[in-house]
Amino acid sequence: MELKIIESDKKKSKPQGALGFGKYFTDHMFVMEYENGSWGNARIQPYGPFTLDPSASVFHYAQAVFEGTKAYRNEKGEIRLFRPRDNLLRMNDSCDRVCIPSFDVDFVLDALVKLVLLDKDWIPTQSGTALYIRPTAISAEPALGVHAANKYIFFIILSPVGAYYAHGLEPVGLYVEKEYVRASKGGTGHHKVAGNYAASLKAGEKAKSLGYDQVMWLDAKEHKYVEEVGSMNIFFVLDGKAVTPALGGSILPGITRRSVIELLRSKNIPVEERLVDIGEVMRGVQNGSCTEIFGTGTAAVISPVGKLCYEGKDYVVGGGKMGAIASQVYEELTGIQAGKLADPFGWVKKIFG
Ligand SMILES: *Cc1c(COP(=O)(O)O)cnc(C)c1O
């Protein structure tokens, strides 16, 4: 397939001041369409709205998947992506789950790199900032029958984002949710399918209204085993070992999660992927054997947990501060992403400088 590049002749002005998350978009986007049985018409074009028929299937039956990855630029102007191919492989898995036709990962990765380079002046350089990359695929057949659509749009948009933590890493408070569930085995929780996030909003709003930052999700069947947090995976340091819920079909297989496991194992810190009973966690928090809890995900990289609300009571975790293992992992991962530290794992794809 050929990639057309149509450059914008009107460049937008860059945002001044705080970037926040996902509020500003660059000058260009990548788009390709699926029609008559294949992906085609791939192009990089000026950023702008789509025109879709109100009957387009995505509005009714939510055939939609997305990804999130980042480009990092350091003070020297070097630009790096972190495991971007893994995101596109995972996106193809997500597509398969909701019957969106698969795409050529290497073609899209090449287009993604060209898009980031075309809009590279938008990438902020301060530590903690990045260019967030959002690949998305939606169905677009104008018909109301419930079936896998015969038309799709794939696009990539870019958004400069600020440091996740404006004032250093601040531990978050989590609400352990026993009523609502995020995902069940056999459902779509293992994939980055858009509908999962609609299903999670109610519990997220409830947690916020009670004064917590995010939800800690438990399993759908017994409401007993920890699954993940908001849109992050979760790690516990229990008796000096790093413990994280095993991927059982309802947990999103995070690329940060996998990287943290590989990093810890390379330092001979034991990691267990297994069922994690919330009772075990609460006992550990109370008797001091659970010294740290932290979330992992592309947005925050590492998010230390300082407080848990369980059955109406608050519990302080690790003295309410970021722990030693979370700090070490954060420094190493962000160091590798910025090119400050060596990358023995081959995770980084340097695309400029
Ligand atoms: C994206 C996401 C994660 C984290 O995945 P990363 O690849 O590490 O960014 C975890 N949980 C959910 C529900 C997610 O959507």
Ligand 1: residues with CB < 6 A are 68, 192, 228, 231-233, 252, 254-257, 296-298
Q: How far is the CA of 253 from the centre of ligand 1 (A)?
A: 7
Give the pLDDT confidence of 42-101 residue by residue, as tens digits: 999 999 999 999 999 999 999 999 999 999 999 999 999 999 999 999 999 999 999 999
Which two structure tokens, joined as six digits, stand for 177? 């949710």
Q: How far is the CA of 133 from the centre of ligand 1 (A)?
A: 14
Whose C-alpha lies nearest to ligand 1, atom 13? Answer: 231
Q: How far is the CA of 255 from the centre of ligand 1 (A)?
A: 7
Which two structure tokens, joined as six digits, stand for 97? 């789950």
Predicted TM-score (pTM) of the model is: 0.97
Q: Could you identify the atom of ligand 1 that is nearest to the CA of residue 86?
A: 7
133, 200, 232, 296: which to mutate for ligand 1, most atoms within 8 A of CB?
232
Q: How many CB atoms lie within 10 A of CB 157?
A: 18
Say whether pLDDT at 170 is over 90: no
Average pLDDT, the chain: 96
Give the pLDDT confidence of 178-226 residue by residue, as tens digits: 999 999 999 999 999 999 999 999 999 999 999 999 999 999 999 999 9
Whose C-alpha lies nearest to ligand 1, atom 6? Answer: 254
Taking the C-alpha atoms of residue 138 and residue 62, their distance in angstroms, rounded to an integer, is 8
pLDDT band at 128 (very low <50, low <70, confident <90, very high): confident
Q: How far is the CA of 124 from the centre of ligand 1 (A)?
A: 23
Taking the C-alpha atoms of residue 82 and residue 80, their distance in angstroms, rounded to an integer, is 7
Counting residues of the chain whose pLDDT is more than 90, the rounded percentage is 95
Q: pLDDT at position 166, please?
A: 65
The full 3-state SS of 269-304, as one line of letters, equals CCEEEECCEHHHHHHHHHHCCEEEEEEEECCCEEEE
Which two structure tokens, joined as six digits, stand for 240? 């000096």
Give the pLDDT confidence of 259-299 residue by residue, as tens digits: 999 999 999 999 999 999 999 999 999 999 999 999 999 99
Q: Could you identify the atom of ligand 1 that is nearest to the CA of residue 232?
A: 10
Give the pLDDT confidence of 9-34 residue by residue, as tens digits: 999 999 988 999 999 999 999 999 99
Q: How many CB atoms lie within 10 A of CB 145?
A: 9
Structural domains for the chain: 4-161 (3.30.470.10), 172-338 (3.20.10.10)
Q: pLDDT at position 167, please?
A: 66
Taking the C-alpha atoms of residue 292 and residue 313, their distance in angstroms, rounded to an integer, is 19
Give the pLDDT confidence of 314-335 residue by residue, as tens digits: 999 999 999 999 999 999 999 9
Say whether pLDDT at 231 is over 80: yes
Q: How far is the CA of 231 from the centre of ligand 1 (A)?
A: 5
pLDDT band at 169 (very low <50, low <70, confident <90, very high): confident
Q: How far is the CA of 299 from the centre of ligand 1 (A)?
A: 9
Q: 30, 32, 34, 31: which is closest to 141 by C-alpha?
A: 34
Which two structure tokens, joined as six digits, stand for 251? 């947990």
Q: Could you identify the atom of ligand 1 that is nearest to the CA of residue 196?
A: 13
Q: pLDDT at position 17, please?
A: 87
Taking the C-alpha atoms of residue 67 and residue 228, their distance in angstroms, rounded to an integer, is 18
